[in-house]
Amino acid sequence: MPERFLLKLGLAVLMMVAIGCAAQVRRAPIDRIPEDTDSDIRVELLEEMTLKYPDDANLYYEIANHYYDEVMPVEARTNYERALILDPDFNKARVNLAMLLVESDEVDSAKVLLEEAIRRDPTDAKACNNLGMVHYSELEVDKAVWYFKRALEIEPGDAEAHYNLGLAFAESGLVLEAIREWRVVLDMVEEGETADRARMSLERAERQIQE
């Protein structure tokens, strides 16, 4: 049998195997659950779906997010980790799990996860911003500034990253630079938590330079 034919046959078999593997991952119909469904009922429905769709990483991610919001860290962690086992490239699950670990004082493990997220996707602005916050919390201000700037290179309109960069500048004694960042935030958003924090930080900084 000609080698070329054998090669084509082998490639065809590999493609069929790949298609078969992809077809085995059935997606749960999460969007069928009405948006106004009670939170506890929603998670019950999601949990029930895992029996029929056990390989859907996004399903476990949605369940984990519920437990995260309800401050149930053990359940949230279990489901984020399950999502990552099913889909190692699922960066949103990796980033959220990292922030959960930060809140549980597992900072080193959180750093590893965020660094892995950035390795897998260098354009993940949220991962860069969150890793900046981890470094900022440990007073590693230069590293924090680098990651906040990287997040803004990827997503210039990220008001949260601008606010965080202002914090890092202020911690470094660069008050004018911090003021600039917080003014950028208020140019972007007039209301909301980020705007309120930027406004308060800006007022303190302006009083500081007037004294």
**What is the pTM assigned to this prediction?**
0.80
- CATH code, domain with 71: 1.25.40.10
Is residue 101 located within the same domain as residue 133?
no
Report whether pLDDT(20) > 60.
no
Is residue 40 located within the same domain as residue 94?
yes
Give me 15's structure tokens.
């493609």
Cα-to-chain-centroid distance, residue 168 = 20
Query: Residue 71 to residues 39, 61, 62, 67, 68: CA-CA distances in angstroms?
Result: 13, 15, 14, 6, 5
pLDDT in tens, 37-58: 998 999 999 999 999 999 999 9
Q: Do the domain assignments include residue 15?
A: no
Is residue 135 located within the same domain as residue 160?
yes
Distance from C-alpha of 49 to C-alpha of 69, rounded to nearest angstrom: 20
Cα-to-chain-centroid distance, residue 45 = 24
192: left (phi over 0), alpha (psi -120 to 50) or beta: left
Is residue 85 located within the same domain as residue 140?
no
Is residue 59 located within the same domain as residue 85?
yes
Is residue 148 located within the same domain as residue 203?
yes
Q: Do the domain assignments include residue 13?
A: no
